[in-house]
């Protein structure tokens, strides 16, 4: 069956940032069909494609490709995709969730009635998202329709069975989430060792079965990934030993874009600008793996001769060499026995050591000799520091990237004392090194500091119309404070003195939809959450604005206590919008279909 040619008024586009937009669909069937067509026939420059409840998100490599894509989608005609049929998956559930009683009240049922409705329904996998192995399940009867929690939990346990809107799902691993928890399961929803890592995929049928106990709550195998030591191709000529990892140190590269449909975020370094700078200085490929460190205090020992560069947060770089002092040879003892008298000079004090210390500059290549120890101090500005090495770290690859995704657990595990990090060889072509070590570089920008103001430029949308004028003014005309609850998933903000939370113009629930890095998601509390590298690929709270790509590095460097001002800008010229402008809707932005 073929769909009739599209009409502009039938296909609405909402921009999310400058390089991506949401295509609003009439129903889930249109979502599935449109997604299947764009997957089989990608638009020029198309980088990411993600189906959700009522939208399809398309992201592009550049603003130019995105505008052309919006124009193409306006008149797109396509055939219905063939229906997808899958397996029947039975999932055992112990119904003891924290929100079970609340769900009963919301649905005017007893707890037993909620369990009966959940287990007697055949659920169908509609689309992936949020996290690897997290598949949104729907049913034709919609037996349990409940809102999300007003404030999302910072940590939902792995295996939690949950409801939100008309969807049901299982959390594959511990992660933030705002769904209502009704039970838990021992089913392993995501396993990289399986041929098909996701237990439930779009098109599968899921039947929940109530049990009295769970024999075992399985961990997600992706959480038990190897560390950054070894796993590369061949023996490395040099390596680095982790003496102390600091608060958190991870192996990162530029990420794994294009896997959003599997629930896998692009991840990669939170501040990709600093990664590119470190690799540029070292003569590496821009995607070479580095160490991302939070709040300094990292200690590394060289095993072999190395060239390093440190970028990102401003830290002191100290290098120490400890050598044993050779003691003079003791005189030969006479052959006759002689009575010895005790004295202080006769006490063996053990070996003596000589300590040599030096410092190294930021954003410049320097040598770390065999046996020397590198120490990073606490940041004077910024939050995340990047340590690159000539040749890059030869860590294991997962889904074609060495990046550590803190939300999904994909990638090398966090660095720990004793890890040995192999170093690769500089890229070669025909036996000749492709790039030489570069010159020192200046700081790219003034980094955020606690108590100081940082401006982040944003484009409004895609859901700024969910907020009234006072709500948009609260977002853009007052200061916000970054909190200590922030991480690689996102930065949480709190109110500064005299400020107010955002207020809505619309009530109700927004169907989960795709999100891009930099999205400012606004839960009912009215306090923004700024998505960073490991954010869920979909979200259910409205996004009022998106930080522009060139300011994402600053967002990743916000320490707790930093003051932030969000400034709306035109998506093409990046010039500030007037305070009276509450939407960036312009013909060049939206294209003919908007």
Whole-model pTM: value is 0.81
Q: Which of 33-42, 96-105, 474-483 has the lowest mean pLDDT?
A: 33-42
Across 269-287, average pLDDT: 97
- pLDDT above 90 as % of the chain: 64
Between 166 and 44, residue with greater pLDDT: 44
- List the domains of the chain with CATH numbers: 12-75 (3.30.1360.40), 88-210 (2.40.100.10), 239-324+354-433 (no CATH), 453-568 (2.40.100.10)
Residue 85 bridge partners (DSSP): none
What SS3 state is found at 389?
Answer: strand
Across 567-574, average pLDDT: 96
Across 173-201, average pLDDT: 90
Residue 263 pLDDT grade (very low, low, confident, very high; cuts 50, 70, 90): confident
State yes or no: pLDDT of 83 exceeds 70: no
For the segment 108-148, what is each residue's pLDDT rounded down to a tens digit?
999 999 999 999 999 988 888 777 888 889 898 889 999 99
State yes or no: pLDDT of 6 exceeds 90: no
Between 409 and 443, residue with greater pLDDT: 443
Q: Extract the tokens encoding 15.
A: 């921009």
Instruction: State whether the Cα torsion 95-97-101-107 is positive or negative.
Output: negative
Q: Minimal CA–CA distance to 458: which of 311, 357, 584?
A: 584
Q: Minimal CA–CA distance to 32: which of 55, 60, 58?
A: 55
d(CA 161, CA 183): 5
Q: What confidence score (pLDDT) does residue 346 get?
A: 55
For the segment 464-498, what is each residue's pLDDT rounded down to a tens digit?
999 999 999 999 999 999 999 999 999 999 999 88
For the segment 392-410, what is each residue's pLDDT rounded down to a tens digit?
999 999 889 999 998 878 9
Question: 592: Cβ–Cβ under 8 A, 6 or more apart, which residues?
Answer: 8, 70, 71, 74
d(CA 25, CA 7): 13
CA-derived radius of gyration, the chain: 28
DSSP code for 398: B
Q: What confidence score (pLDDT) does residue 334 get?
A: 63
Q: What confidence score (pLDDT) does residue 351 get?
A: 73
> Mean of the per-residue pLDDT values for the chain?
87
Q: What confidence score (pLDDT) does residue 587 get?
A: 33
Q: What confidence score (pLDDT) does residue 259 get?
A: 86
Q: What confidence score (pLDDT) does residue 29 get?
A: 79
Q: What confidence score (pLDDT) does residue 584 get?
A: 40
Residue 202 pLDDT grade (very low, low, confident, very high; cuts 50, 70, 90): confident
d(CA 505, CA 495): 20
d(CA 105, CA 546): 36
Asked whether the beta carbons of 125 and 28 are under 8 A apart, the reply is: no
Across 169-186, average pLDDT: 93
Angle of the 111-119 helix axis to the 100-107 helix axis, nearest 10: 90
For the segment 283-292, what is each residue's pLDDT rounded down to a tens digit?
999 999 999 9
Residue 519 pLDDT grade (very low, low, confident, very high; cuts 50, 70, 90): very high
């Amino acid at each position: 069956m073929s769909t009739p040619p599209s009409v502009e008024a039938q296909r609405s586009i909402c921009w999310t940032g400058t390089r991506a937009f949401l295509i609003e669909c009439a129903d889930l069937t249109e979502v599935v069909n449109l997604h299947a067509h764009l997957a089989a026939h990608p638009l020029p420059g198309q980088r990411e494609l993600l189906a959700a409840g009522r939208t399809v998100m398309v992201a592009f490599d550049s603003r130019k490709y995105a505008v052309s894509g919006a124009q193409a989608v306006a008149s797109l005609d396509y055939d219905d995709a063939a229906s997808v049929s899958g397996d029947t998956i039975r999932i055992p559930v112990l119904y003891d969730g924290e929100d079970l009683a609340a769900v009963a009240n919301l649905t005017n049922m007893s707890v037993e009635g909620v369990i009966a409705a959940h287990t007697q329904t055949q659920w169908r996998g509609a689309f992936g998202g949020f996290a690897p192995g997290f598949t949104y399940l729907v049913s034709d009867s919609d037996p349990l329709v409940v809102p999300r929690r007003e404030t999302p939990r910072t940590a939902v346990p792995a295996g939690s069975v949950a409801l939100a809107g008309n969807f049901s799902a299982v959390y594959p691993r511990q992660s933030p989430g705002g769904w209502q928890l009704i039970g838990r399961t021992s089913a392993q929803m995501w396993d990289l060792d399986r041929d098909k890592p996701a237990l439930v995929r779009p098109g599968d049928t899921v039947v929940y079965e109530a049990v009295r106990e769970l024999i075992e709550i399985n961990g997600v195998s992706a959480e038990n990934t190897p560390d950054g030591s070894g796993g590369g191709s061949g023996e490395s000529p040099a390596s680095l030993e982790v003496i102390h990892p600091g608060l958190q140190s991870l192996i990162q590269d530029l990420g794994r874009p294009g896997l959003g449909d599997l629930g896998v975020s692009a991840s990669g370094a939170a501040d990709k600008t600093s990664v590119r700078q470190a690799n540029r200085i070292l003569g590496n490929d821009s995607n070479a793996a580095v160490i991302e460190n939070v709040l300094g205090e990292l200690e590394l020992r060289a095993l072999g001769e190395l060239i390093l560069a440190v970028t990102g947060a401003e830290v002191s770089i100290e290098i120490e060499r400890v050598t044993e002092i050779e003691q003079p040879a003791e005189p030969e003892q006479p052959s006759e026995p002689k009575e010895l008298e005790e004295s202080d000079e006769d006490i063996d004090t053990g070996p003596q050591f000589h300590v040599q210390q030096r410092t190294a500059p930021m954003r410049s290549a320097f040598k770390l000799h065999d046996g020397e120890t590198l120490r990073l101090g606490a940041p004077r500005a910024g939050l995340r520091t990047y340590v690159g090495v000539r040749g890059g770290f030869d860590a294991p690859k997962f889904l074609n990237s060495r990046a550590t995704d803190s939300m999904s657990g994909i990638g090398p595990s966090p660095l720990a004392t004793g890890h040995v990090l192999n170093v690769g060889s500089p890229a070669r072509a025909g036996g000749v090194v492709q790039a030489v070590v570069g010159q020192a570089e200046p700081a790219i920008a003034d980094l955020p500091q606690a108590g100081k103001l940082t401006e982040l430029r944003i484009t409004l949308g895609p859901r700024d119309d969910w907020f009234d004028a006072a709500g948009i003014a609260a977002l853009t005309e007052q200061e916000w404070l970054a909190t200590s609850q922030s991480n690689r998933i996102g930065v949480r903000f709190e109110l500064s003195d005299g400020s107010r939370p955002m207020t809505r113009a619309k009530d109700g629930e927004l169907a989960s939809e795709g999100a891009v890095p930099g999205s400012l998601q606004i839960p009912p509390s009215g306090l923004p959450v700024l998505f960073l590298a490991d954010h869920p690929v979909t979200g259910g709270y409205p996004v009022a604005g998106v930080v522009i790509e060139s300011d994402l590095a600053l967002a990743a460097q916000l320490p707790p206590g930093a003051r932030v001002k969000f400034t709306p800008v035109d998506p093409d010229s990046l010039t500030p919008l007037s305070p009276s402008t509450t939407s960036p809707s312009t013909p060049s932005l939206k294209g003919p279909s908007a």
